[in-house]
Amino acid sequence: MNAKNAEIVSIGTELLQGVLVDTNGLFLAEVLHGIGIEVSYRTAVGDDRQRIHQVLRQALDRAAVVVVIGGLGPTEDDRTRDALGDVSGRPLILHGETLERIEERFARRGVPIPELVKRQAWIPEGFVVLPNRHGTAPGLLWEDGQRLLVALPGPPREMRPLFTEQVLPVLLERVGSGQQIQTRTLKVCGLFEAQVEERISDLLHTDHPPIGLLAHPGEVHVRMTVSGTQEEVQIQLEEWEKKLRDRLGDAVFGVDEERLEEAVGHLLRLQGKTVAVAESCTGGLIVHRITNVPGSSDYFERGIVSYSNHAKEDLLQVPSPLIERHGAVSPEVAVAMAAGVRSLARTDLGVGVTGIAGPGGGTEAKPVGLTYIALADAQGEEWCEHRFQYDREGNKLWGSQMTLEMLRRYLLKIRVVA
């Protein structure tokens, strides 16, 4: 049987009202993808017997594995059991073992069994019952020729063990031994999505492995998916990572979960360098990100959020005539902030960031988003200018991103100012 194609169907009106995140669907998508089953569709539908029936009919027409989650509860609006009966053409029958299990469960808790709960023991004839250790609704499994239909209760603490312990082994058997799917993500900073695509376009047009691009604020993720035996997967991942790195070079700052602030922290630690930060428009975000990394106190000495001119003069020794002459948002002040914080903190490096986060405070000459970032070391200072076009929090985020990237390029001895 070819079980390489699946559809996830989530049942519940809450999912259609934006009240509940479908974490079950997310979990299943990840696990199925991981074992080499391609999820082609995810569908959410409300607690409506006819609509559930139609969606299941369609799913069984286009997928070899259909996993339905939710709608197996005891109340009137739980219609999945009925719809399973409809789509399979099987009548619901009372399943004695399941009824006993439910009764025992209530007896152990010393609670009288509500009549409604017994509905959960009615299942479509011929379905395999998957006992639920964490709740009253059992999972259900049905094979119809080439296709496999699985129904699981909605509460994640019931669904997950049921799936992992009782459904996953069946699926693994179908997929066949050996085959795996693995992904690896290279994270890129300093290039736009379209620039990344231009550089790797020849690799994108081959089919193996599929490579996907995803843009995030100030970074692009290049994700490759490979399949094969465990050994093949490892070889392919290495090989393709090398090809991508050849084209993307130092723009790649990390792999998979690694964040830009971790990459910077790693380089600082490796080179035994310390840093201090003076920021105004980014308002503490640069330092917040640096200090999110465990052990950052080894290389991070202090952060100054100098929102007022007084703070800039007082804490960073930025001369007040300099601010008057060039304005607080100027290359000169960014440089003075970087040099000032470095000298006072006695660190190897100093960072200075000044800009206009918005929404207020912009002028024609100095619009919202204008940001100067400076870096100081024992030899001197360099600076760069950015013109971000986001809202306040977006401008802060981009400002922090470009600052960390400037630090990274400095530490890698890549030309900092473009």
Rule CB under 8 A: which of 115-134 touch a copy of itself?
Answer: 115-117, 134
Smallest gap, in angstroms, from Cβ of residue 389 to a copy of itself? 7
Whether 351 and 335 have beta carbons less than 8 Å apart is answered as no
Q: Which span sits near a copy of itself by CB under 8 A: 34-42, 168-176, 226-234, 375-383? A: 34-42
For a copy of itself, the closer CB: 396 or 408: 396
Residue 375, beta-bridge partner list: 351, 382
Q: Where are the beta strands (DSSP E) in 178-274?
A: 180-189, 211-216, 219-228, 252-255
33 binds a copy of itself (CB under 8 A): yes
Distance CA 267, CA 87 (A): 59
For a copy of itself, the closer CB: 149 or 277: 277
Smallest gap, in angstroms, from Cβ of residue 250 to a copy of itself? 19
Q: Which span sits near a copy of itself by CB under 8 A: 89-97, 244-252, 393-401, 404-412? A: 393-401
167 binds a copy of itself (CB under 8 A): no
Distance CA 121, CA 138 (A): 8
* Of residues 260-289, those binding a copy of itself (CB under 8 A): 277, 283-288
For a copy of itself, the closer CB: 241 or 307: 307
Amino acid at 266: H
Using the rule CB under 8 A, which residue among 295, 378, 380, 415 binds a copy of itself?
Answer: 295
Distance CA 28, CA 171 (A): 12
Binding mask 182-221 for a copy of itself (x = CB under 8 A): -x--------xxxx-xx--x--xx------xxxx------
Distance CA 29, CA 8 (A): 8
Smallest gap, in angstroms, from Cβ of residue 179 to a copy of itself? 15
Distance CA 159, CA 11 (A): 13
CA-based Rg of the chain, rounded to a whole angstrom? 29
Smallest gap, in angstroms, from Cβ of residue 142 to a copy of itself? 23
For a copy of itself, the closer CB: 176 or 212: 212
Smallest gap, in angstroms, from Cβ of residue 126 to a copy of itself? 27
40 binds a copy of itself (CB under 8 A): yes
315 binds a copy of itself (CB under 8 A): yes
Q: Which span sits near a copy of itself by CB under 8 A: 233-241, 245-253, 329-337, 392-400? A: 392-400
Instruction: Label residues 157-192 b or e (16+ Cβ within 10 Å = b).
Output: ebbbebbeebbeebbeebbeeebbbbebbbbbbbbe
- Burial status of residue 6 (CB atoms within 10 A of its CB: 0-12, 13-18, 19 or more): buried
Nearest to 67 by CA among 139, 157, 155: 139
Smallest gap, in angstroms, from Cβ of residue 418 to a copy of itself? 9
Smallest gap, in angstroms, from Cβ of residue 393 to a copy of itself? 6
